């Protein structure tokens, strides 16, 4: 019996995700099916390639299994149609998050699919392979199909497995070894579970609802053995699929073991996790271990919204705001970078509540990154139901799903994927949704992309100005400020385009032939066009005009010097110099302490900053866009840190007379 499994993931620059689900299905079928000796598994298909090539590769298979996700649903279904057209007797089954719980419409729309499996598929797939006869489907649990009479049939769901160790590991069993041998130049990212389940029931997610909110665990012994396997096979990147890593006390032990293996063997390099929502001392220590070991690019502190009414509507009000406050303070004290998540398009969210939420996070110490995510509707989430959408006036648009960052490979005979974005609710329709989206991009540009963070943080924290009001200065500009006016217009037009079905990211052939966030594209365009000096000149006028009302000469001088310093610190292409930047105030020292919640007065006194840019530089704007703009999105490393501060005895030099050596 020849069997093909397809689990297609995004892949570029020879970096691919291991087909973990495919490995689970094969490993457990080989272990538990009574007729396992009859199985001939092809190597799983794991990345996008021409559909015709995949169809040719799969010719002759008796069984084809598809693992469906948002990023591969359409190409997988097209592959199923072609396989069925050339080989009608091939039995095609599907599973994964994109399979709806009620699959009657899914099956009638995709007639090539003979059977779908709901929930955990390891045992059901094994039982199916023992007797893949259409008449036996009714004896399988957790499946749906259209019977010979054209009726939709769904069998009773099987209970989730309590003893997760009863499932065979795809890593330890060796079923993925032939794939790795066949692709020796691939840089693999390992998908990994330490537990299954989620105690929360957020309406935009199908994690908690699909797992009945209970958490099952793989044994520590098994997990340690898998970590050894990752290290031995030089796996650089582990992506942990747990919904709430750090929620269990033993997660600290796992993190410490991974950190130990990295010290001993050099692998893995990165351990990426979704942090638990509510926290404890153990979870804090767990994240600290991951960060100190250099395994993380930032600790996730996800709120999604800061408005209590919104949190109630999305069933997230049992996640406490005080938890974020305490964790943000503690991580700042340890000088560990964090990032926060906010979702655009949640029911009940208004422009006012959204910008107030951003203000709160910044006030509480989030200076590294807020990830502003558009709400995407998943088929098995509560927000995916027609009743929920009607209740909250949710407006959806079908858009092409694209991957942000990295060179995008153009594949012949490919199939576009799509997603459903929320672009309006009862609380924020039309123009209001556009304002929220544009505000988020402008916040990213001027603050979290770090190109104006120093003067804005000073205006906010030192001079007591509202953060959202400072961001809105740049959103409300007129054509008097042409650089920022063009940026503002682009953000608003892009948001309107998304409402009309446009992609959520911006394609640029000029920059790595890739898709970018709107703020990043605007920043790169300013740099590439040679407008960075005008960008800072306009920013200075905008901020100083705002502060002039009631401000003294010192305030304007501080902002002036802060902008010049921020400009000099920003990593730029074609800028291999050692630059001397004078200041009338100890701005850099104040800024570095403010990032971690520490206090320092901005005292007068000539200071000279020597910024050495000779060791870290980019002669090519493509390398700069990749290594600074792309990589910096998570790490926040947009500014040079090779700086020496000296007491200056010289007079303050105007910015046009900066010394360069």
Q: How far apart are CA 380 and CA 419, in angstroms?
A: 14
Whether 653 has a pLDDT exceeding 50, the answer reads: no
Residue 209's pLDDT is what? 52
Mean pLDDT of the residues in the chain:
92
Report the percentage of the chain scoring pLDDT > 90. Answer: 81
Residue 658's pLDDT is what? 42
pLDDT in tens, 509-562: 999 999 999 999 999 999 999 999 999 999 999 999 998 876 678 889 999 999
User: What is the mean pLDDT of the segment spanning 98-117?
Assistant: 97
Nearest to 591 by CA among 370, 440, 367: 367
Q: How far apart are CA 60 and CA 494, in angstroms?
A: 47
Q: How far apart are CA 302 and CA 657, in angstroms?
A: 45
Nearest to 205 by CA among 395, 372, 73, 383: 383
Rounded to whole angstroms, what are the CA distances from 597 to 108, 323, 366, 592, 602? Answer: 58, 17, 10, 9, 15
User: What is the mean pLDDT of the segment spanning 275-300?
Assistant: 84
Q: How far apart are CA 589 and CA 607, in angstroms?
A: 11
pLDDT in tens, 4-24: 999 999 887 678 999 999 999
Residue 659's pLDDT is what? 40
**DSSP bridge pairs for 9:** 47
If you search the block for the tokens 């700069």, which residue do you land on? 624
CA 232, 233, 234, 239 dihedral sign is negative
- In the β-sheet with 237-240, what is the strand arrangement from edge to edge? 11-12, 15-17, 187-192, 237-240, 270-272
Assigned architecture for domain 2-154: 3-Layer(aba) Sandwich (3.40)
φ and ψ at residue 188, rounded to 5 degrees? -85, 140
Q: Report DSSP state, residue 210.
A: H
More confident residue, 423 or 297: 423
Do 366 and 327 touch, CB atoms closer than 8 A?
A: no
Q: How far apart are CA 404 and CA 560, in angstroms?
A: 35
Rounded to whole angstroms, what are the CA distances from 412 to 47, 247, 419? Answer: 14, 44, 22
* 185, two tokens: 């130049």
Whether 407 has a pLDDT exceeding 50, the answer reads: yes
List CB contacts of 7: < 8 A, sequence separation 6 or more: 19, 20, 21, 22, 44, 45, 46, 67, 72
658 Ramachandran zone, left/alpha/beta (phi>0; psi -120 to 50): beta
Do 97 and 122 touch, CB atoms closer than 8 A?
A: no
This prediction has a pTM of 0.92
pLDDT in tens, 602-635: 988 899 999 999 999 999 999 999 999 998 887 8
Q: Specify the pairing of strand 195-196 against strand 270-272.
A: unpaired
pLDDT in tens, 344-390: 999 999 999 999 999 999 999 999 999 999 999 999 999 999 999 99
Nearest to 281 by CA among 271, 273, 289: 289
Please count the CA atoms within 13 angstroms of the CA of 90 that sit on its side-chain side.
28
Do 317 and 311 touch, CB atoms closer than 8 A?
A: yes
Q: What does the DSSP assignment read for 70-139?
A: TTTHHHHHHHHHHHHHH-TT-EEEEESTTS-SS-HHHHHH-TT--EEE-S--HHHHHHHHH---GGGGGG
Whether 73 has a pLDDT exceeding 50, the answer reads: yes
Q: How far apart are CA 204 and CA 201, in angstroms?
A: 9
Largest pairwise CA distance in the chain:
92
Q: Specify the pairing of strand 187-192 against strand 195-196.
A: unpaired
Whether 660 has a pLDDT exceeding 60, the answer reads: no
More confident residue, 318 or 336: 336
* 403, two tokens: 């991957």
Residue 251's pLDDT is what? 95
Q: Report DSSP state, residue 342.
A: E
CA 642, chain centre distance (Å): 29
Residue 319's pLDDT is what? 66
Do 215 and 195 touch, CB atoms closer than 8 A?
A: yes
pLDDT in tens, 253-283: 999 999 999 999 999 999 999 887 766 678 8
Q: How far apart are CA 530 and CA 447, in angstroms?
A: 21
pLDDT in tens, 457-495: 999 999 999 999 999 999 999 999 999 999 999 999 999
Q: Specify the pairing of strand 514-516 against strand 506-508.
A: antiparallel
pLDDT in tens, 561-593: 999 999 999 999 999 999 999 999 999 999 999
Residue 131's pLDDT is what? 94
Residue 649's pLDDT is what? 55
Angle at CA of residue 522, ends 519 and 559, nearest 5°: 80
């Amino acid at each position: 019996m020849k069997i093909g499994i397809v689990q297609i993931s995004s892949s570029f620059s020879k970096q691919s995700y291991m087909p973990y689900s495919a490995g689970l299905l094969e490993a457990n079928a080989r272990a538990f099916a009574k007729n396992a000796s009859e199985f001939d598994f092809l190597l799983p298909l794991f990345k996008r390639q021409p559909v015709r090539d995949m169809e040719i590769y799969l010719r002759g298979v008796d069984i084809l299994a598809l693992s469906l996700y948002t990023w591969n649903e359409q190409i997988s279904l097209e592959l199923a149609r072609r396989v069925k057209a050339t080989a009608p007797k091939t039995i095609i089954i599907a599973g994964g998050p994109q399979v709806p719980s009620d699959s009657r419409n899914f099956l009638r729309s995709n007639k090539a699919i003979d059977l779908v499996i709901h929930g955990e598929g390891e045992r059901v797939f094994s039982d199916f392979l023992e007797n893949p006869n259409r008449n036996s489907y009714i004896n399988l649990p957790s499946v749906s199909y259209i019977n010979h009479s054209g009726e939709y049939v769904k069998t009773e769901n099987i209970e989730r497995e309590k003893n997760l160790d009863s499932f065979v590991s795809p890593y330890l069993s060796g079923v993925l070894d032939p794939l790795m041998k066949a692709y020796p130049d691939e840089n693999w990212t390992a998908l990994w579970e330490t537990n299954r389940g989620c105690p929360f029931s957020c309406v935009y997610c199908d994690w908690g609802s699909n797992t009945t909110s209970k958490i099952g665990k793989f044994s520590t012994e098994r997990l340690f053995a898998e970590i050894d396997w990752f290290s031995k096979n030089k796996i650089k990147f582990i992506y942990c699929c747990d919904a709430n890593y750090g929620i269990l006390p033993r997660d600290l032990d796992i993190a410490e073991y991974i950190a130990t293996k990295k010290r001993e063997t050099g692998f893995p390099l990165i351990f990426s996790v979704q942090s638990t929502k509510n926290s404890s001392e153990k979870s804090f220590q767990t994240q600290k271990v991951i960060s100190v070991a250099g395994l993380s690019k930032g600790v996730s502190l996800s709120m999604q919204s800061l408005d209590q009414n919104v949190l109630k509507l999305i069933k997230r009000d049992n996640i406490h705001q005080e938890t974020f406050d305490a964790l943000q303070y503690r991580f700042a004290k340890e000088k560990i970078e964090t990032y926060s998540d906010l979702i655009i398009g949640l029911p009940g969210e208004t422009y006012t509540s959204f910008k107030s939420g951003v203000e709160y996070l910044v006030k509480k110490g989030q200076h590294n990154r807020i990830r502003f995510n558009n709400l995407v509707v998943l088929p098995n989430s509560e927000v995916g139901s027609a009743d929920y959408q009607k209740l909250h006036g949710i407006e959806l648009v079908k858009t092409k799903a694209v991957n942000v960052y990295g060179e995008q490979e153009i594949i012949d005979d490919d199939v576009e994927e799509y997603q459903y974005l929320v672009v309006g609710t009862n609380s924020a329709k039309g123009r209001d949704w556009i304002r929220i989206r544009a505000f988020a991009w402008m916040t990213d540009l001027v603050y979290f992309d770090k190109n104006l963070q120093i003067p804005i943080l000073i205006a906010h924290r030192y001079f007591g100005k509202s953060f959202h009001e400072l961001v809105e200065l740049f959103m409300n500009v007129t054509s008097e400020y042409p650089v920022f006016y063009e940026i503002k217009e682009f953000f608003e037009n892009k948001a309107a385009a998304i409402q009309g079905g446009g992609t959520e990211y911006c394609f640029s052939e000029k920059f790595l032939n890739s898709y970018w966030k709107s703020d990043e594209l605007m920043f790169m365009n300013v740099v590439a066009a040679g407008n960075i000096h005008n960008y800072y000149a306009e920013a200075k006028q905008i901020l100083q005009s705002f502060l002039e009302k009631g401000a003294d000469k010192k305030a304007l001088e501080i902002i002036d010097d802060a902008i010049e310093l921020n400009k000099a610190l920003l990593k730029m292409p074609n800028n291999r110099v050692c630059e001397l930047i004078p200041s009338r105030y100890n701005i850099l020292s104040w800024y570095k302490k403010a990032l971690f919640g520490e206090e320092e007065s901005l005292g007068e006194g000539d200071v000279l900053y020597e910024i050495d840019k000779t060791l870290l530089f980019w002669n090519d704007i493509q390398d700069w866009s990749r290594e600074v703009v792309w990589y910096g999105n998570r790490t926040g490393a947009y500014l040079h840190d090779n700086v020496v501060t000296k007491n200056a005895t010289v007079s303050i030099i105007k910015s046009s007379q900066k010394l360069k050596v």
